Structure 1
Amino acid sequence: MILSRRWSAFLLVAGAWNWLIWPRFAKAIWDDPRAWHNGTPTSFLTVHAVLIVTALIIGTVIAYVGYKGLRSAAKRPLS
């Protein structure tokens, strides 16, 4: 599959957006009183941690595909 420069840039920005948004959400969850019960993590924290880690992994893969697409597009002549 060959990605256009526009789609590659979009994927790169979408991956970066994940890395911008999800860590802030993680901090909000960490500070939420529902995340802890007597100093131990609750299922609320666990479920959100899994969600956040999954989103960051997907964001990383999306950004990587966008980066590779842009690198590949730079080697192709403009059409």
Structure 2
Amino acid sequence: MLAGLFNIVVWPRFAKAIVDDDRAWAGEHWHSEPQAFFWVHAVLITSAIAIGLGVLVVGLRAHRSASR
């Protein structure tokens, strides 16, 4: 459960850092084409958050069933 929560808390902050990185854009941030650096990290971050949500759901269900 904590691993899922960790992923949900940490990865969005990392996403902000990627968006703010000059390597993510061909020119000015949000006003130019995203580069491969941006897309690779976007896929990794999205995957990590989705897996984190899955782990969190499984953890919450296990915690509920154990407390019954």
Specify the alignment match of 1:50 in structure 2: 43
- What TM-score, normalized to structure 1? 0.79
Moved over 2 A (4+): none
Larger Rg: 1
Unpaired segments ≥5 residues, structure 1: 1-11
RMSD: 0.6
Q: Any idea what the Cα deviations from partners look like across 1:3-52, whole Å, max 9, x if unmatched? A: xxxxxxxxx11101001110010000000000000311001000000000
- Identity percentage over the alignment? 50
Q: What does 1:21-40 align with in structure 2 at a 5 Å threshold?
A: 21-38=10-27, 39-40=32-33
Specify the alignment match of 1:70 in structure 2: 63
Q: Which amino acid aligns with 1:22?
A: W
Higher RCO structure (Cα 8 Å, ≥6 apart): 1
**CA shift at 1:53, angstroms?**
0.2
Aligned length: 64
Unpaired segments ≥5 residues, structure 2: none
In structure 2, distance between residues paired with 1:24 and 1:64:
21
